[in-house]
Each structure stands twice: as C-alpha cells, then as structure tokens.
A = this chain, B = another copy of it.
Amino acid sequence: MNPAKISFSRIGQLANPPIISHIMAVALENPDMLSLAAGFTDTKALPVQPVRDATLALSSNGKTPEYLQYGTTIGRPKLRKFVAKRLSQIDQHQSPAYNLDNVMLTTGSQQALYLAIQVLCDPGDILLVESPSYFVFLELLKGLGIQAVGIPVDENDEMDTVALSGMLAGWQSEGSLDKVKGVYIESWFSNPSTHCLSNGEKTALAEVLKEAGLLVPILEDGAYMELYFEEAFPSTSIFAIEAFDGFPRLFFGTFTKPFASGLKVGYAICDHSDILSKMVNVKGHHDFGSSNYTQSIVETAMTDGSYDAQLNKGRDRYLQKMEILNEVLIQQGLPDSGWNWQKPAGGMYFWVKGPVQADTSIESAMFENAVKEGVLYVPGDLCFAPEGPKSYMRLTYGVLERDDLAEAGQRLANVIKQSN
C-alpha cells in the first residue's frame, strides 16, 4: 500500500534537511575524503579519563545513585551555581545576574537557543544577526519561520552601527520595527568569522538599539569564549556592560566544545526571570530535563579540576592544529592568489576570503572540484542572512589529525589554484 499523504504542519513543511547533511553525504561517498567542513571536536583530546573518574566517583560505595535518577527540568543546582560563578569570575564583575536562579541547563547550547527563539519569536518576526553568523542557528530560525537579517558591516568587515541605525530608522518609518524581536551575537572566536566583539563594539550596538527604542532581548553566544589559544580576549559578557542595562540579556554557553561533545551539556543564563521561566516551561514540554547523568559528570569535572585541565589540553591541541593548517595554506601560496584570512586566536575555524569574483557555493565549479580532489569546506554564503557574498569559505581544524590536516590544506590549495 502506498504511504498515506500527510498534511504536515507549518513547522513540518519548513523542516528541511540541514545543508551540511548534503556536504556530509558527499564525504561519506569517498572514504578518502578529508573534511575541513565538520565542526567536530578533536577525538584524541576527548576527556576519557575525567569522564571515567567522574563515573567511578559518582558510583562509589554508599552514595545514593541520584545521578541516574530523573533530574529537574532546569538542571542540577550545583552545576548551575558553577556556571553563574564562573562567568562572574571571567567578567570580573558582580551583579544579581550571576545567580544560579538565572541559569538553566540544556542539551547543548543549541537547545537553549531553540527555546529562546520559541518563546520570543513568532513566524514572520525578525532577528538581527551578525554578517556572517552561525549557519546552524540560521537554519534553526528558518525552520521556525523567523527572518534573520544581517547587521551591515563596513569595508573591514566590522559591524557598521551607522548603517544599522539607518536600517532601523527605515523600518521605523515603514512601521515594521516592532517585528524585530531580538539580536543574536557571537562575541568570542565566532563561528565562522573567528571575530571577537570588543566591549566598545558591543556598547556601540546597545546605543544604536536604544536610540531606536529597541530594548529587545540580546542573545549573546559564548560557545568559544574559553577556547582561546594563549590569552583570553579582553572583553566581558553583556551582563558586565552598562550600556545593556534595561535590555533583557541572555548568554548561551556550553561544555560541549570545551570538554566533551558526546555529553551535550549546555546552558543559558538570563537576567529576565519571565523569559527564563517560559524557556524552562517549554523545555518541560520538550523533554522535562536533559540527562542528569551527563550533568553530574560535568559537575564532578568542574569540582575536581579536571575540567580546567581538559580545557588547557584542548587549547594547546587546537593551537597546534591551527598553526599546521595556517602554515600549509600560506606555503601553498593562497595569499598570493588573493585568498586571505585573519589568523585565529581561538575557536576552531578559519574564515577565508577569496577575490570578489570567487564562487565557493555548493553549486560552484570550485565545490565540485574540491569533492573531486577529496577535500570539503563549508561554503561561506550559507553563513549570511538573508544572503551574502559567495567568496568566503569556512575551514575547521577541529577533528582532522595533523598529517591529514596538512594533506587537506594542500588539496584545498590545489582546488583554489585551479580556480584562478
């Protein structure tokens, strides 16, 4: 019998496969394919011993195995307290915002982002994002029917607050300004641009929004905040920036990238209690709480110091890998061919800018060539909303081993040289 024809909901109709899944499918077809596309973490650097030790400690004799019982929807109080305290220390700032009552734990920070968008935005609403922005988040918005609009940038690819101000004034006179329901920024080693936002840049953003009367929630993604290589970027979260007083503030963080992606523990901190309560209530409907066990492991690793040791190990490895890819791309003459990048100081990505006429898109000859040569990248145009230049590519050095990384860099350089 033929399968019944389904009338899908609006969300069902918008539920398209992620574009990256096409790229991954291509990778699977060629076992020799080296992927500079997948944002996986370094397998060799995964915290086998800390996770094992945490499990042994949790299961030691005489202890109640509450870690294997249901937890609460909002998550473990002790870990939420660690989260609040740690951000307060990083910010070197104290305020009522850094309190466990403002923290919820989620299945990665992605779930926290989804919950925030669910409670704040209806289909057709607008969310301001950076240009470029995190493409998985852009797909999340698309899946819920929310319109992402990129904040204009200047010729140095910096946020152009004057142009933003003009854009908002235009919407104001059109009567569409109240469709803007929030602003999403990645302030540390952004995926994909590796850019960090200084407190000055963030303050300028707050001032433009305030001028426009747009006191909307600010969603700050700090996924890579602690994944600097040598020195932390000298900035604070929006909780410590006075210009954001009066804005509802949400900070999204994760233990996935800095500790273990297989545990999928992330969080949101929100200083607006109504927003947080509603996010927790919707999470109650999603799953009434993420795994209590993985939260307990992270909590243990935060207590016994293995979290920080692991973080330092990750920093070293990512720095070394970044250097390898950086060197091979330079040696292979990419800058001479008009392809440039900012050497990253943290995170997991290169954001490589080609000549204006370059086309890296998924339908391009260059992408086809890359597949033929056995190397994958993320086409940069996926990271712009509603659309953007096709001359960028995102590379990651997270998952490949050193030798493979050098080989992948050479293959990519060949592809780029052929395109000139």
By a beta-carbon cutoff of 8 Å, the part of chain A in contact with chain B is: 1, 3-4, 6-12, 15-18, 40-41, 43, 46-49, 51-52, 55-56, 59, 64-71, 106-108, 110-111, 114, 118-122, 125, 136, 139-140, 143-144, 178, 181, 215, 217, 245-248, 256, 260-264, 271-275, 277-279, 281-282, 284-294, 296
Contacts and interface: CB of A to CB of B under 8 A. Distances in A.
A6 B248 contact: yes
Residue with the highest number of chain B CB atoms closer than 10 Å, among A3, A120, A287: A287
B68 A9 contact: no
B46 A3 contact: no
A95 to B, nearest CB: 12
Residue with the highest number of chain B CB atoms closer than 10 Å, among A1, A18, A279: A18
A277 to B, nearest CB: 7
Contact of A281 (B17, B56, B144, B261): B17
Given A43-B66, A47-B68, A48-B68, A272 B55 contact: no
Contact of A288 (B43, B136, B263, B285): B136
A291 B106 CA distance: 11
A8 B281 CA distance: 13
Contacts of A121: 9
B47 A52 contact: no
A68 B263 contact: yes
B287 A263 contact: no
A281 B52 contact: no
Given A10-B122, A107-B107, A246-B4, A143 B281 contact: yes
A67 B296 CA distance: 17
A247 B286 contact: no
Nearest to A63: B48
B247 A4 contact: yes
